[in-house]
Structure 1
Amino acid sequence: MGTGWTSALAGLVFGLGLIVAIGAQNAHVLRQGLRREHVAVVVAVCALSDVVLIAVGTAGVGALVAASPVVTAVATLLGAAVLLVYGALAARRALHPGTLVADDDRPAGAAAPVVPVLLVTLALTWLNPHVYLDTVVLLGAVSAGHGDARWWFAAGAAVGSVAWFSALGFGAALLRPVFARPGAWRVLDAGVAVVMVAIAAGLVADLAAGAH
């Protein structure tokens, strides 16, 4: 039991180390949390997706996926395209910033439809190669080193993901006074746009380097 709890703690720390960074998924969760729009749905999708991918990686599927150059290339290009689109939308919002209530002339208190928000969340989660690299390949490989306690390691990582996305989504409300000003949204969206484009460019560059 001691080994199990030790592995669980290691998984928690390792999992948090992978996801606590500025990225497409975290930026999306933060934005929805700030706007208080479908936060529970966004957090649930991100957290449950991570749990599923962690389980897949721990089961050993990650090694099989990583061994296929075609699958890797397709996933990378598709993910880069999604990130570029999201970055372009963020750049557009930065040029035309709104307020906390609405940034697209919606009446005060009118939330965005849940379906588009859900689709964006799914796309930024399942079409992002970094998600697979972190949860399926990397975390799966590290969990294998824990032998019989690998599922304890996976459980710790899963708890870390659920805790992080919950804190990011629901805790974002604490920053609402700051983002009541359009200038704050301009800075946030500009930063998101730069990060998204940088990640997309890095994915394509890595793919091109691997092809040579």
Structure 2
Amino acid sequence: MVLTGFVSGAALIVAIGAQNAFVLRQGLRREHVAPVVLLCVLADVVLMSAGAAGLGLLVERLPWLETAARWGGGLFLIGYAVLAIRRAVRPPAALEARERGAGSLTTALLTAAALTFLNPHVYLDTVVLLGALANGHGEDRWQFVLGSASASVVWFSALGFGAYRLAGVLGRPATWRVVDAVIGAMMLVLGLVLLLG
């Protein structure tokens, strides 16, 4: 059951999205990597556990929850995209100075939380889908959740701390402009997809 949960969780978590892009960026910036990774893992554990405990049925029965998360998430992602694109078009000297200054831990955690909890797909994937898969294993559902949670730990740790290790290689201002442009474009597309349903 643990291995089945690990594979199922990994299949859903590894897909590149706003949360993963943010963890990658924090790792490359070498800013608050451990707290951001921990928040993402704990959020997954809470949501997976809620799904295994039956919250997925409630989410399916209250469609307005998904609609609210979709609109909130879409607007947030578009705002984040605008900021990333604006960073990408700044001159290299301004970008280099900005990269030397660390952002606050509170801002990093609030952004990670917003990218996690304002994403309606997190509820569909983690609460509803993984919850249904876990509940399909009856009494062994918590072993399934343990496997899925393990996948979350492995993925976010590898993403955040792997990027941290690569930050020296990718630390040039020109590279950062490309990273911000790609993240901005991806967030903009994801935000528009959410808003357009």
Give the alignment's TM-score, normalised by structure 2.
Answer: 0.92
2-structure distance, mates of 1:107, 1:174: 16
Secondary structure at the aligned position of 2:103 is classed as: coil
2:50 is equivalent to residue 56 of structure 1? yes
* RMSD of aligned Cα (Å): 1.9
- Alignment of structure 1 residues 69-148 onto 2, 5 Å: 69-96=63-90, 103=95, 105-106=97-98, 108=100, 110-148=101-139
In the other structure, the counterpart of 2:29 is 35
- Alignment of structure 1 residues 174-193 onto 2, 5 Å: 174-193=165-184
- What is the CA distance between 1:150 and its match in structure 2? 1.2
State which drifts further: 71-80 or 178-187.
Answer: 178-187
Secondary structure at the aligned position of 1:111 is classed as: coil
2:139 is equivalent to residue 172 of structure 1? no
Deviations 1:45-96 (A, max 9, x none): 1111110000001111012112212222111111111111111111111112
In the other structure, the counterpart of 1:13 is 7
Secondary structure at the aligned position of 1:180 is classed as: coil
- What is the CA distance between 1:160 and its match in structure 2? 0.6
1-structure distance, mates of 2:2, 2:102: 39
Count, aligned residues: 197
Q: Is the 8 A contact 1:94 1:187 kept in 2?
A: yes
Give the alignment's TM-score, normalised by structure 1.
Answer: 0.86
- What is the CA distance between 1:107 and its match in structure 2? 8.2
1-structure distance, mates of 2:71, 2:64: 11
TM superposition outliers: structure 1 runs of 4+ over 6 Å: none
Q: Is the 8 A contact 2:27 2:167 kept in 1?
A: no
